Amino acid sequence: MRTAIFPGSFDPFTAGHLDVLDSALKLFDKVIVAVGYNSNKARSGFFPVDIRMKIIKDSVKQYGKKVDVCCYKELTIELCHKLGVNFIVRGLRTTTDFEFEGVIAQANRVMDPEIVTVYVQASHHFSFISSTVVRDVLIHNGDATPFMPEGVDLKKYIKAKKENS
């Protein structure tokens, strides 16, 4: 079975991320969406990691066992070793993404030449969507629904975030 890791901060997971995941599932039998975070940065991110994971799980229900969700603190390459995975999926929206991701892929390749980074181009109608845009909309009390996977109601997650604060 060909398995890949799709790592990111996913703060929050967007329709663009889902688009990349959908394409990755055409290449791999299983994809593990891996939420990376730095435990040394207390309260980092818009959503806490547990809520990010809930958003992702709500977003990927239709894929069943083809998608797993986990969180990790170590280097992505170390997570690959831990899970026995040799592929990393990275989504590309712009040429800036390509340059940034290329540097990371090269560093990973030096650390382990057996682990391959696979780039998946976001569909053109999702290429402008980023977690940063969604967070900005949310911070300014806007409606981020058009940027989210279908059926994901961010209001309940914002409420949960406030209750946990």
- Which range in 21-35, 85-99, 112-126 is most confidently predicted, on average pLDDT? 21-35
Annotation marks residue 9 as catalytic: no
> Using 50, 70 and 90 to split pLDDT, how confident is the model at 142?
very high
pLDDT single digits (tens) 57-99:
999 999 999 999 999 999 999 999 999 999 999 998 877 778 8
**Among 26, 41, 65, 162, which one carries the catalytic annotation?**
41
Annotation marks residue 131 as catalytic: yes
Q: Is residue 149 scored above 90 in pLDDT?
A: yes
Burial class (CB in 10 A: 0-12, 13-18, 19+), 105: middle
> Using 50, 70 and 90 to split pLDDT, how confident is the model at 38?
low
**Among 52, 54, 90, 93, which one carries the catalytic annotation?**
93
**Among 17, 52, 54, 90, which one carries the catalytic annotation?**
17
58-77 burial: b if 16+ Cβ within 10 Å, else e: bbbeebeeebbbbbbeeebb
State the Rg of the chain over Cα: 15
Q: What pLDDT shows up at residue 39? A: 61
> Using 50, 70 and 90 to split pLDDT, how confident is the model at 40?
low
Mean of pLDDT values over 105-129: 92
**Average pLDDT over the chain, rounded to an integer:** 91
**Among 54, 90, 130, 131, which one carries the catalytic annotation?**
131
CA 138 to chain centre: 18
Annotation marks residue 23 as catalytic: no
d(CA 5, CA 154): 25
Q: Is residue 100 scored above 50 in pLDDT?
A: yes
Annotation marks residue 155 as catalytic: no
Q: Is residue 43 scored above 70 in pLDDT?
A: no
- Residue 97 φ then ψ, to 5°: -60, -45
| 63: CB partners within 8 A, 6+ apart | 21, 25
